């Protein structure tokens, strides 16, 4: 697999073509999924050509790697802001966790087609670049969350004895729930469907309860 192969544009016109290809790919990922979205489909939707596509990407996997890399870069910037020590230092823990859950919901919802494709490809091909990308982001968020929880534990705001483990298991709980509710939700009337506002509220309560927070939500 040549997932890392991407040739960046050098001119404005070429950049505009890349933007159209990316937009078309994201639309088709949402409509059909990665397996069913062919290069022919993508370039037709983009109003481009296969020559233009292959001048930028070695294959469809390389395009997915590019989309995933852009998605991961945005997510890392988001989480750096979310867990900025100065920004959250004086905020109540319940507020911080509520924002954390809300950001996860928003990020997963906005990037659902790309994340769904990355997750499925990682499962189908363990050890590939897509799995490394998702693992890298998970570790980044978990480590920043662990640092925040360690600071709150030192101030006596949570009763959980192991902040690092709390971050690991808390991330697992939140990630698994939100993946199922957002990324892999195909029917809004399924039995376990929960409206977005209620899901955010209840996941926040669940996480704070697991942490044994002394600052519960109202």
What proportion of the chain, given as a percentage, has pLDDT over 90?
A: 44
Q: Which CATH class is domain 65-211?
A: mainly alpha
pLDDT at 159: 94
Angle, helices 112-124 vs 60-82, to 10°: value is 120
Tokens, residue 188: 């809004």
pLDDT at 2: 44
pLDDT at 193 over 80: no
Q: What is the mean pLDDT of residues 108-126?
A: 86
Q: 57 pairs with which residues across the strands? A: 6
How far are the Cα atoms of 81, 102, 150, 160 from residue 163, in angstroms, in the given order?
A: 20, 21, 5, 7
The DSSP code sequence of 14-32 is HHHHHHHHHHHHHHHHHHH
Q: Is this model's pTM higher than 0.85 or not? A: no
Domain ranges of the chain: 65-211
pLDDT at 89: 87
pLDDT at 217 over 80: no
pLDDT at 1: 40
Distance between CA atoms of 164 and 146, rounded to whole angstroms? Answer: 5
User: Maximum Cα–Cα distance for the chain, whole Å?
Assistant: 61
Q: What is the mean pLDDT of residues 186-198?
A: 71
Distance between CA atoms of 101 and 200, rounded to whole angstroms? Answer: 6
Condensed to tens digits (0 to 9), the pLDDT of residues 45-95 reads: 999 999 999 998 999 989 998 998 888 888 888 888 888 888 888 899 999
């Amino acid at each position: 697999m040549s997932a890392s192969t991407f040739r960046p544009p050098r001119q404005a016109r070429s950049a505009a073509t890349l933007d159209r290809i990316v937009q078309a790919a994201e639309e088709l990922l949402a409509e059909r999924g990665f397996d069913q979205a062919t290069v022919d489909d993508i370039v037709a939707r983009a109003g481009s050509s296969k020559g233009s596509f292959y001048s930028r990407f070695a294959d469809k996997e390389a395009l997915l790697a590019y989309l995933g890399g852009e998605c991961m870069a945005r997510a890392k910037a988001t989480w750096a802001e979310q867990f900025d020590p100065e920004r959250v230092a004086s905020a109540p823990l319940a507020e911080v966790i509520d924002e954390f859950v809300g950001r996860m919901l928003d990020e997963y919802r906005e990037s659902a087609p790309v994340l769904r494709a990355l997750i499925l490809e990682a499962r189908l091909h363990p050890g590939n670049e897509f799995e490394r990308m998702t693992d890298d982001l998970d570790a980044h968020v978990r480590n920043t969350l662990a640092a925040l929880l360690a600071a709150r534990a030192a101030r006596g705001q949570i009763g959980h004895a192991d902040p690092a483990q709390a971050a690991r298991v808390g991330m697992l709980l939140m990630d698994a729930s939100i993946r199922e509710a957002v990324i892999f939700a195909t029917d809004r009337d399924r039995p376990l469907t929960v409206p977005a506002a209620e899901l955010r509220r209840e996941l926040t309560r669940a996480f704070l309860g697991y942490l044994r927070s002394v600052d519960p939500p109202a």
